[in-house]
Structure 1
Amino acid sequence: MSQERPRKPPAVEQQQEPPTKYGDIFPVSGELSSKPVAPGDAAMMQSAETSVLGKTLKGGTAAVMQSAATRNERAGVVGHRDVTKVVENEGVTLVETDLPGTRVITESVANQVIGQHVQPHPQ
């Protein structure tokens, strides 16, 4: 009677998740909509939020981008230091507009608005 090792079941191929693209999470069009969100893109938006607002907005645009970029990196769609070409070429912007009693923050990627937040002015 041989002492045969139990066999491991054959490896099941993991089904790769599709990349999270800009068009999946933001109302964008054109070339940007079909591009996966990359870690460098999220880092640029985080930097813009921190520069203008002094912090990254919880649940804001940068946080959504970071989450999507992390999923894409884990899935092997993008590398840790990747930046989407259209974002690298056209950049990210965050504009703060002061209105009486209100502050409007508009965030854009590659000249397309992807987030807008309205906050009351601190008294």
Structure 2
Amino acid sequence: MKKQAGANSKHASQWINTLEQYAFPFIGDKSVTHIGIDDAKAVLNSIWKGKTETASRVRQRIEVVLDYAFLYEGVDKSNSARWNGCLDHVFAAPKKVSPVVHFNAIPYINLPGVMQALRIKTSV
């Protein structure tokens, strides 16, 4: 598979590790031509509700791998890991499963003090 341009080693490691941990047990030995919607569901079912962000990333990564394989192996088949028009009919949208929780805003009047405190801090 083609390595992403500009991807750092940590990102590349996370990319393959999530596939090894979550996807390979279900589809690791299958030919891309035999991976279907039931396989995508099997990979995602156990993690969609409890690890929604991870599940969403795993789904996206499977989709990329299948797209690449279909393109370079001349497979004329729809991608069973695609969200729009496929898995969006099976799973609730990630934002509905794990809604985004934002930090509270600081009052505008306190912003100069917060900025000063941040400038003093050193990062590790």
Q: Give the TM-score normalised by the residue count of structure 1.
A: 0.28
Instruction: Write 1 or 2 for the structure with the bigger share of helix.
Output: 2
Instruction: Write 1 or 2 for the structure with the bigger share of strand.
Output: 1
